[in-house]
Amino acid sequence: MISKVVYKGKLRTEATHLKSGNVIITDAPVDNHGNGEAFSPTDLASTALASCILTIMGITANTHGIDIEGASADVNKIMDSNPRRIKTIEVVIQMPDKGYTHKEKKMLEAAAHHCPVGMSLHPDTEELLTINW
């Protein structure tokens, strides 16, 4: 088991990562009967995509001796209404200015497009990935 999730009432959950004890609170978004006071579950799914992309890029970077420390991702999620689901996830990666070679850029871009979260999303979920070098 990796986590335990408890419904706390008022459309809020508390998820605990069992190995580390880290806790994530979710709240339903304002446009779906919630208070929007924490990540919604679909926010987490979208954010997980960006975290996964950066992690896989990091693994590739470590393997090839490339420094990507300081890379960041801005995430936007667009919902669809019928059925209610994530329609589009926009991820914009900001790479630190470290003089990457053309070969390094190509390796990191390839890695970014092969993260397990992205591979697990529904085929109708559009992923828009931009990497700013």
Residue 34, pLDDT score: 87
Q: What is the pTM of this model?
A: 0.94
How far out from the chain centre does Cα 17 lie?
17
Residue 131, pLDDT score: 98
Residues 29 and 51 in one domain: no
Residue 120, pLDDT score: 96
Q: How many domains does the chain have?
A: 2
Range of the domain at 68: 40-132
Give the separation between CA 18 and CA 15, rounded to whole angstroms. Answer: 9
Residues 26 and 91 in one domain: no
Q: What is the mean pLDDT of residues 21-39?
A: 94
Residues 31 and 51 in one domain: no
